[in-house]
Structure 1
Amino acid sequence: MALTLQEFTYALDPKTLPRIIQIQSGIYFQGSVYEMFGNECCLPTGEVIKIIGLNISKLSAEIQNDGPGSMCIELPLDYPGLFRIVADNEAYVSIGDIVKSLHIPNRLSQPVFKSTVNITLSNGNIQQGETIMFTSLGERNSEQFVNTEVMRNDKKHNFTLPLSLQGEFYECEDDQFYTLKEIIEWKLPKDRKRAVNLAKTSAIKEFTFCDLPENFKGELILTPVYELQAVMKFRKDIVHIPSSLDVEVIDVTDMYDINSFVQPLSINDIFNRPSSNFPIVAEIIEGPDQTVESLKFLKSCKEIIIHQAFQAKRILASEIRSDAQKHFLIPCTYNGKFKRRPREFPTAYDLEIAKSDKEQLHVVATKAFESHYEGLSTVSVGDQFLVQHRKTSEVIYGGTRKTVEALTCEKIEGKGHEPVLIPMCMEGGFVEVIHDKKQYHISEICQKFLLPFNVKVAVRDLSIGEDILATMLGLHLEEEITEPCLLITPLKNLSECWEIPVNRIKMSLQLLHRPDKGTEPPPAKTVVEEISEDCYYTLRRYVNATLHPPPRPPKKPLQPPSNPFKLESSQPKRPDASSSPKSPHVNTLKPFKPIKVISPELQNAMAECEFEKITSTESNLQKASPEQLTKEKEDDDDDDGHDYEYIEKDEVEDMRKKFQEEYIENKTNC
């Protein structure tokens, strides 16, 4: 039975690819035009085509507003914004309906639903209104099922639901933020529209052609527009066919030999092949649309040698600045040298994490904190501390003796040191005092110090034509990650070898033959890659997918509590989006701050630690910004020609006196 191409596309299950179709009623354009804008637009009757992929080429976005009517625009896939998903108000009628429509398992966050009726199972019941998280799929005795989790009384209960289970299920609210590409890949249900709210647009949106109104705050209804990737009998390249093309087709997969067509493979397909398949020569059928400058040879290169598939180590780094940050992936083979820059620590908990057995952590306070506990120290702006270790201490508050977590430090007073205890949860601010003037390779930093770490390039990498890191005033090395790569050499230049990231470069290749014996790969070229904000956000999200930010400590109550404050739940409460700087999903949408795991003991200590914010020092805090404390100090007469950024002890002492005088003056005026 013949179907329109649109009907065939909507009914196509990507898991069944490849499929072979035959054009029953073709479409032609007058003249010699065969392709328009890279898409196949002329298909003669009787043409046999092998469908190898199904992609979303763009999104149709219907703008929902308060006024009469609505407007429909096209939203490009690379639109640089973050979106929040609106829960689907249309019910799913079975578990199979949910599994068919959504991605399970999901790399970002598992789908969560509620049932309108009680569900009776052999190992227990799921009550009406309880949240059901879909975690994974399984099969037993030829029957498919989905594994789920239900939170009940702060405990997880696992249930197995057959796909045949009927009911009325509604999607729960999702409080995370997503890029448009992530929504397309993981959160766009099949055969359903997806409503989203635009949460943030990037500063680079002005370079993206889009009809979205300025400062738009409403709701968008997204509808995917598909295109088919196909291979034809007498062409090697991959063609892209719009699903809206006015042709009729029939599925003839069972009547043709699929292997008679060209066999294009993605680099992800090649990466997953056994190691015994390498090395191998491959022909590039379709090169990447976008790539870094150093890898642009792939667009014109015809054949390459793929030496091996491996996991490459990278350091995720960001430029140290308050606006328009740049983000980088730095290979461990980078040959430049770094010097240290001071780190900033928003809480005493961060100090405890950053301390090391290899060197003493020396910090200066940039924010005042008044302790209301007897036995715990009050901190003033400019105070210097040598960080020791965490300990449990008994203190008195409101006449009640309590046990709290505290950080033992040595407070520097002139030439002497005074032992002090400061609360682990204090909402203060500290900046590191650097005594180390050495230069380090990036591999040495990863071995000797804990990330995150602040550095600046002291000696650029001479093996790179243009070292983009050398122009940065400072870099925040966040963490070491691994990403799948292919090691390749272009056949036209056997003296070069490159690492190709599998997840961030899209190419189609055809495997040809084994290379000549003795073709050993030369050392891989070093490539420092600047990545987009969306790519950086995605990497940070996947790294921290299982981590939760620590809870915000409560403010000090007006009256001392008669009973110790207790958490209502042993599960950490999600921080408020408007006040938690550690959350990766806050409304300010600086979602890339490192997320730290916190022990249950420390959670309880933070929950019991009451304190009030000192608002009268607000002007002082602005003056004591990290930019001032880490201000670059240039010395043209330096022997090695490089400037070192660290805080001298005398400078810290002068700064401390200045801050204390300003603090006393402000308190007097208040």
Structure 2
Amino acid sequence: MAMDPLSLQEYICSLDPATLPRIIRICSGVYFQGSVYEISGNECCLSTGDLLKVTAVALQKVVCEDTETGQTTELPPTFKGLFQPAPAPAPRLTPQGPLLQGGRQRGLTLHQVLGQWDRWPQPLLCHAIGPRALLLHPVYEVHAVMHLRRDVVKIPSSLEVDVEDVTEEAQHVHFARPLLLSEVLAMEEALPAQARILEGPAGPAIFESSWVPRLQRGQQLQLHGRSCTWRVLASAPGSSRHFLLSSAYQGRFRQRPRRFTGVRELAGGLQPGRCLRVVVTQDCEGRGRDVPPLGVGDRLEARGLWGNGPGTHLLCHRHGGEEEEEEGEDLLLPLDLGGSFVEEGCDSKKYGLVELLAQQALPCEVRVVAPDPGLERDTLGTLPALRLEARLDQPFLVGSFCDEPEEGFEIPPRWLDLSVLLSEEPVHPPAPCTRRSRVEELTEAFYYRLLAQLPGGTAPPPPRPPKPAPAGTGPGGRHPSAPSPPPARTRLASPLPPLPTPARPSTYGWRGPPRDAGTESDSAEHDYETVDNNVQKTIHKMQTIFPF
């Protein structure tokens, strides 16, 4: 049977911790009808009729009141002084009539006094505090569970509300606790299950998908279980479009020849134990006798790095032309040399995504030559190129909307978290079709965030136009009169030096590194030539080299 209402302070002070948990109902007081207050930095709302399950009580402090002056001091729970009942002409008795047991003989500790406390404080003496009688007012921190709150609520017992104990009549009450999808991910034994969204995803959007805006408060979901697919982060070169490809994607790829701007990028494209064959697609001026010029159509084979530090060079072999009898020559190209190169001899076979990643290291550049037949519109099939950046093994949950149970989606809880309430309603098989999740387009901000989290370093910022070089300096930030470093042929180089400043445009197009002073004249015969004079020859060579 429910007891008469008491103040929260009276109820908690008379509560036997051995009987916890207890269920109490808010009856009346300062905080009623939805009043909002802050507890431990979090907003909490207590309304008349709300139920709380008290799970623990912890002593925070004890307020000592001088019975003569009314002055108060606070005692910590660790206070070591002993208390005795205060002598008085008319001893203050509890309504039941017991004085504190054992107080006059040997004194009681603070916790012993509070253990015999029954609603009304009794005057006490404590020589460690002073000669006058004191009244003790304990303040407890009440730990309670509330319906639809994720965290345990911590309430001071001094909160001015009236409560009644309804433990016996409320035994059947279930205090539903919201869960995050990231928590549901670890509860596979509870899936499949229906869920209601209590709070949609916070923060900026990550997917450019039609199903994401529907993840709003009140939406009913079916959660089917963990997805067994993995993802590949991809981007469309020359555009601001970025994607996540599921391993279930059924489109077919063909490798595209990689393109390299400058010798440094060419060196970065080397793979251990493999040579890299490229064709020069833009004239590049040399540097004296040590670095001859490169012309459109020249075929190079990059073999490895030589030297150390600023003297690092890329060892290449330039093959002789079709009309030349010589077999070619070895070149040591400085890493800050400009130029434009395209990979040759690229495989023309068609691959599925899983097969492609088993053979080709990432990143790599591909083209979708056969779109996924399961998609109504495969966006990737319309792109001229696709750069596969990295494989991601982030866990996903398979879900569907209750009003569209056959059409599913795959949601990454660690990137796109929701607060949900699981229900007892059953979820009937089969699992939904998740074709729509085979290709997810990403927002640009989230793409760069993912790129920054990849192993091996930070992501580059979104592309910006190159800054013009200061007057009187060359494209690498070096004055034209400064000599270039001599090639070093000592040993295999360690990690590459920092990237040079981007080249700046000239009247004749993009210039390479400056010429060495004293080795070349400034006559017109050394100016850059446009590729117009070699167009026909270049087209012919490209058609014989590349499959598409």
Equivalence for 2:265 = 350
| 8 Å Cα contact 1:364/1:433 also seen in 2 | no
* Deviation for aligned residue 1:463: 0.7
Instruction: Give 2:371's match in structure 1, choosing from 460, 468, 485.
Output: 460
2:394 counterpart SS class: strand
Equivalence for 2:541 = 650
2:314 counterpart SS class: strand
Partner Cα separation in structure 2 for residue 476 and residue 49 of structure 1: 56
1:623-648 per-residue CA deviation (whole Å, 9 max, x = no partner) reads 9999x9xx9xxxxxxxxxxxxxxx86
Instruction: Give 2:280's match in structure 1, choosing from 364, 367, 370.
Output: 364
In the alignment, does 2:179 pair up with 1:265?
A: yes
Instruction: Give 2:256's match in structure 1, choosing from 341, 362, 371.
Output: 341
1:443-467 per-residue CA deviation (whole Å, 9 max, x = no partner) reads 3332222333233322221211222
* Deviation for aligned residue 1:269: 2.4
1:378 counterpart SS class: coil
Equivalence for 2:124 = none
Equivalence for 2:108 = none
| 8 Å Cα contact 1:337/1:439 also seen in 2 | yes
2:351 counterpart SS class: coil
| 8 Å Cα contact 2:37/2:44 also seen in 1 | no
Partner Cα separation in structure 2 for residue 600 and residue 49 of structure 1: 71
1:110-157 per-residue CA deviation (whole Å, 9 max, x = no partner) reads xxxxxxxxxxxxxxxxxxxxxxxxxxxxxxxxxxxxxxxxxxxxxxxx
Instruction: Give 1:387's match in structure 2, choosing from 279, 301, 315.
Output: 301
Q: Pairwise mapping of residues 171-250 of structure 1 onto structure 2 (< 5 A)?
A: none
1:524-560 per-residue CA deviation (whole Å, 9 max, x = no partner) reads 42421122121112212222684498xx976367354
| 8 Å Cα contact 1:369/1:427 also seen in 2 | no
Task: Tell me the matched-pair count.
Answer: 367
Partner Cα separation in structure 1 for residue 228 and residue 530 of structure 2: 40
Distance 1:260 1:458, change over 3 A: same
Instruction: Give 2:478's match in structure 1, choosing from 532, 541, 555.
Output: 555
Partner Cα separation in structure 2 for residue 493 and residue 537 of structure 1: 33
| 8 Å Cα contact 1:281/1:303 also seen in 2 | yes
Q: Pairwise mapping of residues 357-506 of structure 1 onto structure 2 (< 5 A)?
A: 360-366=276-282, 368-371=284-287, 374=290, 377-392=291-306, 404-414=312-322, 417-423=327-333, 425-435=335-345, 436-490=347-401, 495-506=406-417
Partner Cα separation in structure 1 for residue 246 and residue 485 of structure 2: 56
1:380-414 per-residue CA deviation (whole Å, 9 max, x = no partner) reads 241533334214369xxxxxxx9644333333423
Amino acid at match of 2:541: D
Distance 1:480 1:474, change over 3 A: same
TM normalised by structure 1 equals 0.44
1:508-537 per-residue CA deviation (whole Å, 9 max, x = no partner) reads 321234957x94636642421122121112
| 8 Å Cα contact 1:282/1:511 also seen in 2 | yes
In the alignment, does 2:492 pair up with 1:543?
A: no
* Deviation for aligned residue 1:346: 2.4
Partner Cα separation in structure 2 for residue 386 and residue 328 of structure 1: 33
Equivalence for 1:601 = 494
Distance 1:504 1:611, change over 3 A: closer
* Deviation for aligned residue 1:486: 0.7
Partner Cα separation in structure 2 for residue 650 and residue 456 of structure 1: 22
* Deviation for aligned residue 1:358: 7.0
The alignment yields a C-alpha RMSD, in angstroms, of 5.5
Q: Which has the higher contact order (CA 8 A, sep 6+)?
A: 2
Distance 1:614 1:297, change over 3 A: closer
Equivalence for 2:509 = 619
Equivalence for 1:319 = 236
1:164-201 per-residue CA deviation (whole Å, 9 max, x = no partner) reads xxxxxxxxxxxxxxxxxxxxxxxxxxxxxxxxxxxxxx
| 8 Å Cα contact 1:318/1:326 also seen in 2 | yes
| 8 Å Cα contact 1:555/1:610 also seen in 2 | no
Q: Pairwise mapping of residues 572-583 of structure 1 onto structure 2 (< 5 A)?
A: none
> Whose Rg is larger?
2
* Deviation for aligned residue 1:359: 7.7
Amino acid at match of 1:22: L
Partner Cα separation in structure 1 for residue 340 and residue 51 of structure 2: 64
1:23-77 per-residue CA deviation (whole Å, 9 max, x = no partner) reads 6xxxxxxxxxxxxxxxxxxxxxx47599xxxxxxxxxxxxxxxxxxxxxxxxxxx
* Deviation for aligned residue 1:468: 1.9
Amino acid at match of 1:268: S
| 8 Å Cα contact 1:363/1:384 also seen in 2 | yes
Partner Cα separation in structure 1 for residue 160 and residue 540 of structure 2: 78
| 8 Å Cα contact 2:231/2:247 also seen in 1 | yes
Identity, % of aligned pairs? Answer: 20
Partner Cα separation in structure 2 for residue 476 and residue 342 of structure 1: 11
1:361 counterpart SS class: strand
1:558 counterpart SS class: coil
* Deviation for aligned residue 1:330: 1.7
* Deviation for aligned residue 1:370: 2.6
Consecutive unaligned residues in structure 2, runs of 5 or more? 1-28, 53-144, 151-157, 168-172, 461-474, 513-527
Consecutive unaligned residues in structure 1, runs of 5 or more? 24-45, 51-230, 239-248, 395-401, 566-598, 632-646, 655-670
| 8 Å Cα contact 1:339/1:437 also seen in 2 | yes
Partner Cα separation in structure 2 for residue 312 and residue 563 of structure 1: 52
Partner Cα separation in structure 1 for residue 51 and residue 243 of structure 2: 41
Distance 1:392 1:489, change over 3 A: same
1:333-385 per-residue CA deviation (whole Å, 9 max, x = no partner) reads 211223343432123233233235678532324362533573xx334241533
2:494 counterpart SS class: helix
Distance 1:625 1:325, change over 3 A: farther
Deviates further, 473-482 or 615-624: 615-624
Partner Cα separation in structure 2 for residue 286 and residue 611 of structure 1: 48
Amino acid at match of 1:512: S
Distance 1:495 1:614, change over 3 A: closer
1:484 counterpart SS class: coil
Amino acid at match of 1:558: S
Equivalence for 2:247 = 332
Equivalence for 2:46 = 22
Partner Cα separation in structure 2 for residue 326 and residue 562 of structure 1: 41
